[in-house]
Amino acid sequence: MWGGRFASGPAEIMEEINASIGFDKRLAPQDIRGSLAHVAMLGKAGILPAEDVAKIEAGLKTVRDEIEAGSFEFRRELEDIHMSVESRLREIVGPAAGRLHTARSRNDQVATDMRLWVRDTLDALDGQAADLQQALAELALTHAGTVMPGFTHLQSAQPVTFGHHLLAYVEMLARDRGRFRDARARLNECPLGAAALAGTSFPIDRHATAASLGFDRPTANSLDSVADRDFALEALSAAAIAAVHLSRFAEEIVVWTSAQFGFVRLSDRFTTGSSIMPQKRNPDAAELVRAKSGRIIGALSGLLIVMKGLPLAYSKDMQEDKEGTFDALQTLSLCLAAMAGMVRDLEPVPEVLKVAACSGYATATDLADWLVRELGLPFRDAHHVTGRLVGEASSRGIGLEALPLAVMQAEEPRITDAVFAVLGVENSVRSRTSYGGTAPDNVRAQAEGWLKRLAGEAA
């Protein structure tokens, strides 16, 4: 491959550490797309004769067919996907293949291939995140009025609705999708033609190759073009944040499906049994989504560490961008799919959710608000009165709504039996009508709004 300069081949271990073909073969479609764009431009610019262009184009398509058919033989001594494709091209079309590499280098080639791969993958992830939003919004609409306990510190805080809880994740996913799209917009410049690092003396048309590969424009600085992988870092950081969102929801599914909570039931399709304990229904898929965030975050920190301190322009270190990026984005895709499947098979248990919502004095804030609204108490005083009433109810082992009026009046004589209306969890959620609040009418409108928006995107 290196021509005359080398008398002997690489040491066995050199070949092993150097080769990337084992993992960059997945860039074959992008590599061939890039080469087709490059050779067409070389022809139009008069750099290559038309007959060579025709031969190379036909040969590249044959290589593409062989790779798709699985008959292509990847060989480690050819190091990477770029040299593997070119070497096979030479076998197919002869010496004309040697002209394909005019006015380019593997450095701009690999930067282009990676951008194309990350761009395709971000588009796919965006679609999958939209599908998960759809599943969540549908379930949220069904359960817009299903009361459940809302938690802070995992302690009963105030009642909310199940639909409201699910829509929180729809919002997170919307921001995740925004990050995927931002990353895509910034990466969409074409490095092809930057060549090794300095550009080229051939009269190439970088605007033409950029346009034919769907990029917005060519990158403006040849050194930057081949030296940065910030586009992969951005995609990975967007992926890491999304994975963290999914891991939180996964954790909730794990907790909610436990016998102690029993908030939801997960289908047989998304649970496993135990080989020894017959009663078990383990939420393995949720646990794995929770765990896989680790490797996605790991890929981000791994690549940050590879890149830090690298002098311009290309260094072989940058070959280490691939496995982590491929693995992390593919893992996120798997997690999104598993989550969408689980959400579609998730059945909340309204009776259990209601009982849980009623326990833990979750309507104490409603009582305090009532004292402010109806009796004109300053909120801090109302908070104290309510705290004493909760203490009283708790020592009797009953809920606030079961506390006799006389006991309440002993704390605050102006309390009337009208107070009992706000102590029920249904009334509590119904009263939370502030924008973004958990009132079932709000939740219904939000869920419908999301479903309409998602349908509009799909159209």
Stretch that binds ligand ARG, among 8-16, 38-46, 313-321, 426-434 (CB under 6 A): 313-321
- Quote the CA–CA distance of 261 and 453 in Å, as a whole number: 34
- Quote the CA–CA distance of 21 and 24 in Å, as a whole number: 5
For residues 215 and 314, which CB has a smaller minimum distance to ligand ARG in the complex? 314
Nearest alpha-carbon partner for 339 in 134, 76, 189:
134
Is the backbone of residue 357 left (phi > 0), alpha (psi -120 to 50) or beta? alpha
Is 384 part of the annotated catalytic residue set?
no
Applying CB under 6 A, what is the total number of residues that bind ligand ARG?
10
Stretch that binds ligand ARG, among 102-110, 235-243, 378-386, 393-401 (CB under 6 A): 102-110
Closest distance to ligand ARG from the beta carbon of 36 (Å)? 19
Stretch that binds ligand ARG, among 62-70, 295-303, 312-320, 421-429 (CB under 6 A): 312-320
Is 87 part of the annotated catalytic residue set?
no
* Backbone angles phi and psi of 157, in degrees to 5: -115, -75
Span 44-73, contacts to ligand ARG by CB under 6 A: none
Asked if 40 and 53 count as a contact pair (C-beta separation under 8 A), the reply is yes
Angle, CA of 271, 277 and 282, to the nearest 5°? 20
- Amino acid occupying residue 414: R
- Quote the CA–CA distance of 69 and 56 in Å, as a whole number: 20
Nearest alpha-carbon partner for 125 in 302, 331, 306:
331
- Amino acid occupying residue 130: A
Among 121, 134, 212, 319, binds ligand ARG (CB under 6 A): 319
Among 318, 332, 343, 382, binds ligand ARG (CB under 6 A): 318
For residues 38 and 430, which CB has a smaller minimum distance to ligand ARG in the complex? 38
Structure-block tokens of residue 447: 């869920």
Going by C-beta distance under 8 Å and a sequence separation of 6 or more, which residues neighbour residue 120?
Answer: 30
For residues 107 and 128, which CB has a smaller minimum distance to ligand ARG in the complex? 107
Q: Which of the following is catalytic: 153, 201, 275, 395?
A: 153
Closest distance to ligand ARG from the beta carbon of 314 (Å)? 6
Structure-block tokens of residue 220: 């403006």
Three-class SS of residue 266? Answer: strand
* Backbone angles phi and psi of 205, in degrees to 5: -115, 90
Contact between 247 and ligand ARG by CB under 6 A: the answer reads no
Among 28, 47, 67, 80, binds ligand ARG (CB under 6 A): 80
Stretch that binds ligand ARG, among 103-111, 230-238, 279-287, 298-306 (CB under 6 A): 103-111
Closest distance to ligand ARG from the beta carbon of 207 (Å)? 24
Span 105-164, contacts to ligand ARG by CB under 6 A: 106-107, 110
Closest distance to ligand ARG from the beta carbon of 226 (Å)? 9
Site residues, ligand ARG (CB under 6 A): 20, 24, 80, 106-107, 110, 314, 316, 318-319
Q: Which residues are tagged catalytic?
A: 153, 274
